[in-house]
Structure 1
């Protein structure tokens, strides 16, 4: 079992480190820390985006979402953000921060008690689930002075609302880890064969627990890596990226990449190399 930078034992990742499009850490800082071990079965990590821009200047960041539900504290409001199916941009100015708790794919179902697909492309107030505790948590997060304090508040409320076990959660986690890490899995049929599940049962499982299809998750993870490698300029040609990520048909890779990112692989790599904002939602 791997250990994080704080020396805590944590589970294998079920979401990538990618998702910010273009060249990262321009005008903002992104910090990620793993959750405490007792919460790691359902929660992947905490994150904090912060910025300090001079007066009169605005900036934006574009993200390609993970197949995860997040609790997001932004501008004093605490919300549940479901899986986003498309890229989106966030515009910011002045001095500010956004704090979040990223659940594992499938990890929010025990808290929600309903199909996670109901939250896909939705943002809802946490108060709909936690009532008055959501307002109390938001007040404490607003008063927190640093990331450690934010994490301490979030984890205290997570423990207070920790749900009972769901027998399918661990199974979903194993499947998602394989989609993220195993390059031999290139099709949904490979997942069905590996885990002994029918395509229809797999679709139902992901609809209920993850909120998007297994094909969507597999494609999104591969596109995250492709965008990151092209942005870093460490990938060789985009043709080589396509092959290494399991695309046997380069035209499919170009189509998927352009649809998700908004630019062709060549245009995206060129924009990143010039350190230009390559796109917006």
Structure 2
């Protein structure tokens, strides 16, 4: 297991502002779990002498198991940003499953979790309150990871080749920034659009159209996070938008503000 923290934003909006308030580390899963688990993540903060801070995140197409006081649940990927208040002192532990990697545990469409987060007992054999007492009381990140892996390893389902196919498709969407339409994905992978939509509903929980949109807007936010001069018209075209108003509309729908407003927020942080 790697203890090294990886530093890409992975959907965290305005990371420069956030890193002043909390410490985020990400840790690789063991080889046995790596097929299903992308990484573990841990957030710690001590802001008792500061004003509350709202951290916004554009989600990845991954299921997350989140251990936090009173709210330990399993969440499907969201089609829009979510916000988390940082105040006082606290710690949250999470498992980010690979795209499609939670379906073999669940065995029903991941989309069924969109408005109904799942309790952890059926997956881990332990109640959320037990996990909170055990894991969140630990000071060492690696102890937290090892404890969670001991719970997960006996529950491993059989490997599912569709998870590999889902990850190839999503890696393609993430890497090929000019991809803007589901038809382009279908053509590349020689898969009918209806079959692709069913596959994403079952394994990912959100549609391929939304996955494309989330990655394009995440790319846009990361470009502005670098605090470099940005030509929004050129950026919109580079990300596959045919006109700037469409880009602005999508950005505001997912991120909650216009690109100009987001750029000013980054500059002021």
* TM-score, structure 1 as length reference: 0.86
- Are positions 1:190 and 2:160 aligned together? no
Three-state SS of the structure 2 residue aligned to 1:110 is helix
Aligned pair count reads: 265
1:243 maps to which residue?
237
Among 193, 200, 207, the residue aligned to 1:199 = 193
Report the Cα offset of residue 36 of structure 1. 2.0
Report the CA distance shift for 1:203/1:149 in structure 2 as closer, same or farther (over 3 A).
Answer: same
93 and 109 in structure 1: CA distance in 2 versus 1, 3 angstrom threshold: same
Cα distance change on mapping 1:131 and 1:103 into 2, 3 Å: same
Q: Does the 8 Å contact 1:183/1:246 carry over to 2?
A: yes
Residue 13 of structure 2 is aligned to residue 18 of structure 1: no
**Aligned residue number for residue 106 of structure 2:** 112
**What displacement does 1:63 show?**
1.4
Closer, same or farther: CA 55–268 of 1 in aligned 2, 3 Å:
closer
User: Can you give the 5+ residue segments of structure 1 that lack an aligned partner in the other structure?
Assistant: 7-15, 276-281
Q: How does 1:129-278 map to 2 (within 5 A)?
A: 129-132=123-126, 136-234=130-228, 236-275=230-269
Moved more, 40-49 or 246-255: 246-255
The equivalent of 2:40 in structure 1 is 46
Q: Distance in 1 between matches of 2:76 and 2:246?
A: 27
Q: Find the aligned partners of 1:164 and 1:102 in 2 and give their Cα distance.
A: 19
Q: Is the 8 A contact 1:85 1:121 kept in 2?
A: no
**Could you tell me whether the CA contact under 8 Å between 2:37 and 2:97 is conserved in 1?**
yes
2:99–2:163: 8 Å Cα contact kept in structure 1? no
Instruction: Determine if the alignment matches structure 1 residue 66 to structure 2 residue 87.
Output: no
Report the Cα distance in structure 2 between the residues aligned to 1:5 and 1:233, rounded to whole angstroms: 29
Moved segments of 4+, more than 3 Å:
3-6, 128-139
CA apart distance, 1:191:
0.9
Q: 1:219 offset after TM fit, Å?
A: 0.8
**1:125 to 2:128 alignment:** no
Matched, 1:95 2:89: yes
- Contact kept? 1:77, 1:138, Cα under 8 Å: no
C-alpha change, 1:26 and 1:89, in structure 2 (3 Å) is same
Query: C-alpha root-mean-square deviation of aligned residues, in Å?
Result: 2.3
Change (3 A) 1:148 1:76: farther
